[in-house]
Amino acid sequence: MAETLTIPLRPEEKAAPPMHVCVTGATGYVAGHIVARLLAAGHTVHATVRDPSNIKSVAHITALPGADERLKLFKADLMKDGTFDAAMAGCAAVLHTASPYALDCPAGKEEEMLIGPALKGTENVLASVNRTPGVTRVLVTSSVVGVWGDPNERGKGHVFTEEDWNKVAHPKKYPYFYSKMIAEKRAYELAEAAGGKWSLVTLNPGVVWGPPIGKRLDGESVTQMVDLLSGALWPWAPALGTAVVDVRDVALAHCLALVKPSAKGRYLLANQERGWFLLPDAARILKQSGAHKGAWLPPLLPDYYGLMAFGPMMGCPVPITKATYKKRPLVSTAKAARDLGINEWIPMQRSVLDMASDLKAKGMVPAFKLPVAWPVLAAGAALLLWALRALAGAVLGL
C-alpha cells in the first residue's frame, strides 16, 4: 500500500517548477520521506541505491505515489569514483543523504567503517556534481554531532547555533561525530573550490524519530523503537541528552531548502530548544499514553557508573556516556524559522506515539526480544542467589 504525506506540501513546494533531483542513499530512513515529498511535488527523482535489482530493499520507495512515472533507480557506491555520474545526468539538484552510521565502532575500525566512507563518499558525490553541467544546487544531510559532541563543551547554558562546530570530535574517541563533522567541512571546501558553479546547503538534524516509509528495519531509530517496545532494552534506558526531530520535519526542511533560493549554509533541525533524554523520555511518553499496554518498557535509569560499566554491551560506548550523560543541549532553530519558514515542529510526543503505532500496525514489533543486557541480569541473579544462600547458611548455621 502506498504511503501518503502526513505533512501537506507547503505553497513554496507546490509553486516550484518540476525538476530532476538526484537523491543519494534513497532507501534510507530520512531519504524515503524526502523522496515521497519530491514525488508529491511533481519532481522526477533519480534515486541512488546499492542494488536496484533488490526488490525488497527498494519496494518502499517504488510503491510511493508518482514513483511509476517519475522515480528512476541508479546503482552507486560511495567508495567508487564516478558511480554517481549517471544518476546526476540531467539533474538540476542533488540531495546527498547517504552516509555510514555506527555509534559504537570497534577500535581500529574507525577509518574503515566511518571516517573513510563519510569523507570519500562526500568527495565522490561532489566530484560527480562538478562533472554535471546542469547541477546548481546541492544539499548535504549532516547532523547535530557536527555542531556539538558534549552539550557542555562550550559551557553550561550555551545555546548552540549554526556558527558552532563540534569541539570534542576525535577520530578515536568519537569517530562518528568526527566523520560527520569532517565530511561537512569538506563539502564546504569543495563548494568554495567550485567557484559558485553550485550552491551548498547542509542540514544538521538531531536524533531523527517518527514513522518510517515502508517496513525496513535497518534504520537506527527504527531499531531503537522496536527494541524499546519489545524488551530488548529492558530494564533500563540510559539518560543521554540529545536534540530530537521528527523525520517528517527533516524531509520538509530539505525540500524547502531545495526550492528557496535564499537558503544557504547550515540549518539546525530540532523540535524544541531544550534537548531530551531520548529513551527514558520516549518510554515515559509511551507509558503515559496508555496505548501500548504490554510493551516491555524499561522502568529504570542506570546511574553513571553502572552505565560506564555495562553500557558498551548495550551499544553505548564509554566516551558517549561521558559526553552526554544527563546533559540536555540547548539549540536554536531561529535560522530555520527565518529562512525556511519552519516555525512549528512536530512535538516529541507525537513523534514517539506515531512511530510506535506505525511500527505495530506494520507488524514490525515482536512480542518479546531477549534483553541485550541479559548477561548482566543473569550474573546479577546468580550473585543474588549466592548471597541469599550464604545468608541463609549463616543464619541457620548450615
Give me the pLDDT at residue 1, please.
52
Domain segments of the chain as ranges: 11-373
Confidence (pLDDT) at 101: 73
Question: What is the per-residue pLDDT across 182-215, written as a single tens digit (0 to 9) for each?
Answer: 999 999 999 999 999 999 999 999 999 999 999 9
Domain 11-373 coded CATH 3.40.50.1860: no
Cα 340 to Cα 172: distance, rounded to the nearest angstrom: 36
**Residue partners of 239: CB distance under 8 A and separation at least 6:** 277, 280, 301, 325, 326
pTM of the predicted structure, to 2 decimals: 0.93
Q: What is the pLDDT of residue 103?
A: 67
C-alpha–C-alpha distance, residues 151 and 328, integer Å: 6
User: Is 180 labeled as catalytic in the residue annotation?
Assistant: yes
pLDDT value for 391:
76
Q: Which residue has the cell 525538476?
A: 19
Please report the pLDDT score of residue 81 as a whole number. 96
Do 353 and 289 touch, CB atoms closer than 8 A? yes
* E runs forming strands in the chain: 20-24, 44-49, 71-75, 93-96, 137-141, 159-160, 199-205, 207-209, 241-242, 244-246, 265-269, 276-277, 330-331
Query: Taking the chain (398 residues) in consecutive chunks of 10 residues, what is each chunk's mean pLDDT?
Result: 83 98 97 98 98 96 98 97 98 93 76 89 98 98 97 97 97 91 98 98 98 88 92 88 98 99 97 94 94 83 83 82 95 98 97 96 89 64 70 70
Q: Crossing angle, helix 278-289 and helix 348-361, to 10 degrees? A: 70
Beta bridge partners of 80: none
Report CA torsion sign: 376, 378, 379, 381.
positive
Catalytic residue among 14, 172, 180, 215: 180
